[in-house]
Structure 1
C-alpha cells in the first residue's frame, strides 16, 4: 500500500463501504463490471441487467463522492497506524480465501505477515482451557515445528492464545484473526502477546479502524480462521462455542478438520468428541495425522527435487493454463481455479479428469489437485 493509492484501490474500498453489501454481491459486481470503479461509472442500463443488483444498491452510485472520501480517510488512517489494506482482487489478498464465497471484500493487517505462506495450521478451542488442553496445544506445535507452518488462531482466551504463545516460543509465524479493529486488542490482557506477534506474523481483521465491536463479530471472524487454515485442530471445546463454529465452517470449506479426543467426563471435551462421532473431524492422536493428510512428509522428501514442466504440446489452451497454475502452486482447489481462470467448475472437471488420466495431476480429498511431475 502506498500513501497515494491508485484509483481502483480506492474504488474497491468505497464499494465495500456500501451498507449491507455482502461478499457474494461484491464479487458478483467485480465479475460482471470488471472493477469496482466500473460499478460507479458504467451506464445504469448495463448494471440493471445484473441479477441480484436492485435499485437500492444502485442508488448508492449517487453517493460515489462521499464513499470515495471515506475510502481516502480509511487509507490515510491506515498509513498513520502502519496498517496494510488488502482488497479482494489485489495481489496481496490471501489466496486461500479467494475461493470462499463469503470471504471479506477488504482485509486489514498489521505486522510482519505473509498472507500466503506455504503451510498453515489453525488451532482453536475453548476459552476455559484446562492444563491438558494447554499441554496438547504446545505438543502439537512442537511436533509440527520442523515443517514451519504458520499458526492461525483468534487471540482469544484459552486455547487460542496458547496457540500463539506456542508458535512464538518455537519461532513460528502466527496470525491472530480479530473480531475488532486493529487498534482494539480484545481481550486487552493479550496486548503484550499481540505486540510480540508483530515481528513473526501479526494481526488480521475485516474491520476498519473505528468500527464498533459487536459480539456477532467474533463468530463472523471464525470463517477467516477456517479459510486460512490448510488443516484445523480443535483441542478442547464444549458442546457449544466458537471453536465448534470454526470447525463446522472449515468442514464446509473442505478443509482438513481434526479434534483432540478427551475425557468423557470433561465438558470441555464434549464438543471434540461430538465432532469425531459425527464424522466432521478426524481423531487427532499425533502429528502424523496432519503430516499424512496434508502430504507434508512427501513435500519434505521432494524439497530438493527440481520441478520440470513436461511436454504439453498436445493439450488445449485451457488445459495448459490449468497446468501452469498447478505447477506454480503445487496444489490448488477447484473453486480457486474456477475463480482464477473465470471458467465454470463443470468445464474444469472435464479438463482435470483428462489431465489426471494423462498423468499430469492427481486428485485429493477436498477437490484438490496436485502436480505429479518432478525430476529426481
Structure 2
C-alpha cells in the first residue's frame, strides 16, 4: 500500500438478538495508489462493483495485479477471462496518461474508502471507486439535497425552484445537480445567490464543460462548491455518461427533488435510482394538462415521490424538526388566500394540531366526500400536510 494508512474500526452492537458489524475504513490515498486504481478501472470486465470486490479481497489495487491466480479465482465472479485481462499491461499506459493530467491540472480526487468521499455514496454498491473534483467542496456533516428537472423549465418551475432554495437557505443545505440546462442551472444559481454551497456532477472529464454556454458559471461554482465527476479527461459527454452521472446525483444526497419533468426524462431516471438507493424523493405537482408536470404527477400517483408544495415538506419528511422554526416563518409568505370552508378547516387544525380526517369532518360539519376534496386542495396550496394514519396538520 506504500504510504497508505488503513484504520479499521469495528462497531458491534446487538439488535433483535443479532450481532451486526460495521467497518469504517479511512484511507489516505497516495499517488501510487491512484495510479494502480486507475489502471484497474481500465481492465476490461472491471467496473466499480468488481473493482471494489477485488480491492477488498486483495487489500489494494496494486496487490490485485500481483495476486496469484489461485487467490483471484477464490473471489466470486473472477474467472479465466478476467484473469487474462489483468495481465494486459496497456492499462498502465492509460493510467499514467490520466495521472499526468490530474497532477498537471492539480485535480483533487477521493477514493471510496476515504473520509472525504461523499458519505452516502459509500453505501451505494455501484458508487464510483474514485471521484475527481475541482473547487472548494466540503461535504462533511452537511445536509445534501439534489434538485433535478426538465431542461425546458417553465416560469412556474423556475420560480418554485428559486423560492424553495431561498426558503431552505436558513438550514444551509448543499444543493446538488447536474449543471445542465433548465432546472439544474437554476438550482445552482439560486444556491449561489443564497450563499449556499452547490455541487455540479458532470458527465465528462474536468478538462471540459458541457453545455459550453455554462462556462460563464464555472468561477462562481468553484467559489461556492465546485464540480464532481467519475469520468476521465478522455471522456466526452455521451448519452450513457449522463445516465451514469445520475446515480451519483441520487446516491450522494439525502433526498432528490424533481421540480418539473415530462412523462419521460433523465430526471425520472434519477428519481428511480434514488428510490432504489432508499432515498427520499419529492416531486412538485402540476396540472394534468401540463406537459412538464406529467412526470412529477406520475411519481406522486405511483407513490414513488412525496408531494412537494413548500420547503416545510422537505424539513418535515427529512426529520429536520429541530431546525424547522427557521423555515416556518418564511413559509407563511407562500400561503394563498383560502375560501370560507378551507379557512374553517385551517383554523381548526391550527387550534387542535394533528387530527384524523373523520374528526375534521365531524367538528367542521362537512361530509366525508367533501372534506377529502377540501383537504386535497389545501394540500396543493401548501397550507396543510397529510401524515401517516389519515392524520392532517396545518403548516
TM-score interval for Structure 1 and Structure 2 normalised by the shorter chain: 0.7 to 0.9
Output aligned runs, 1:308-327, within 5 Å.
Answer: none
Cα distance change on mapping 1:51 and 1:78 into 2, 3 Å: same
Structure 1 residue 117: Cα displacement = 4.5
Tell me which of 38, 42, 55 is aligned to 2:63: 38
Asked if residue 190 in structure 1 is aligned to residue 239 in structure 2, the reply is no
**Residue aligned with 1:216, SS:** helix
Q: Cα deviations across residues 236-281 of structure 1 (Å, max 9, x unaligned)?
A: 0000000100001101111111000012211100000000000000
Aligned-partner Cα distance in 1 for 2:256–2:56 = 30
Tell me which of 196, 206, 216 is aligned to 1:172: 196
Q: Provide the residue aligned with 2:318 in structure 1.
A: 294
Are the counterparts in 2 of residues 13 and 87 from structure 1 also a CA contact under 8 Å?
A: no
Are the counterparts in 2 of residues 111 and 197 from structure 1 also a CA contact under 8 Å?
A: yes
Asked if residue 72 in structure 1 is aligned to residue 96 in structure 2, the reply is yes
Asked if residue 8 in structure 1 is aligned to residue 33 in structure 2, the reply is yes
Asked if residue 27 in structure 1 is aligned to residue 58 in structure 2, the reply is no
Q: Provide the residue aligned with 2:13 in structure 1.
A: none
User: What is the TM-score normalised by the length of structure 2?
Assistant: 0.72
Asked if residue 98 in structure 1 is aligned to residue 122 in structure 2, the reply is yes
Q: Provide the residue aligned with 1:82 in structure 2.
A: 106
Aligned-partner Cα distance in 2 for 1:97–1:53 = 25
Aligned-partner Cα distance in 1 for 2:288–2:229 = 36
**Residue aligned with 1:152, SS:** strand
Structure 1 residue 213: Cα displacement = 2.9
Structure 1 residue 294: Cα displacement = 1.8
Tell me which of 267, 273, 277 is aligned to 1:253: 277
How many residue pairs match? The answer is: 300
Are the counterparts in 1 of residues 210 and 237 from structure 2 also a CA contact under 8 Å?
A: no
Structure 1 residue 29: Cα displacement = 0.8
Structure 1 residue 147: Cα displacement = 0.6
Larger of the two Rg values belongs to structure: 2
Asked if residue 62 in structure 1 is aligned to residue 87 in structure 2, the reply is yes
Aligned-partner Cα distance in 2 for 1:133–1:50 = 49
Q: Cα deviations across residues 286-332 of structure 1 (Å, max 9, x unaligned)?
A: 1111111222232679xxxxxxxxxxxxxxxxxxxxxxxxxxxxxxx
Are the counterparts in 2 of residues 112 and 201 from structure 1 also a CA contact under 8 Å?
A: yes
Aligned-partner Cα distance in 1 for 2:141–2:157 = 26
Q: Cα deviations across residues 36-67 of structure 1 (Å, max 9, x unaligned)?
A: 12211122111111110122221133234x43
Structure 1 residue 27: Cα displacement = 1.3
**Residue aligned with 1:7, SS:** helix
Cα distance change on mapping 1:220 and 1:10 into 2, 3 Å: same
Give the superposed CA RMSD.
2.1
Cα distance change on mapping 1:149 and 1:192 into 2, 3 Å: same
Output aligned runs, 1:203-352, within 5 Å.
Answer: 203-298=227-322
Once the two structures are overlaid, the 10-residue window that deviates more, 292-301 or 38-47, is 292-301
Aligned-partner Cα distance in 2 for 1:5–1:69 = 18
Tell me which of 74, 80, 92 is aligned to 1:49: 74
Q: Cα deviations across residues 213-237 of structure 1 (Å, max 9, x unaligned)?
A: 3111111110000011111110000
Structure 1 residue 7: Cα displacement = 2.9
Asked if residue 148 in structure 1 is aligned to residue 151 in structure 2, the reply is no
Structure 1 gaps of 5+ residues are 302-376
Aligned-partner Cα distance in 2 for 1:29–1:97 = 19
Aligned-partner Cα distance in 2 for 1:89–1:198 = 24
Q: Provide the residue aligned with 2:353 in structure 1.
A: none
Aligned-partner Cα distance in 1 for 2:145–2:94 = 36
Are the counterparts in 2 of residues 150 and 174 from structure 1 also a CA contact under 8 Å?
A: yes
**Residue aligned with 1:223, SS:** helix
Are the counterparts in 2 of residues 16 and 106 from structure 1 also a CA contact under 8 Å?
A: no
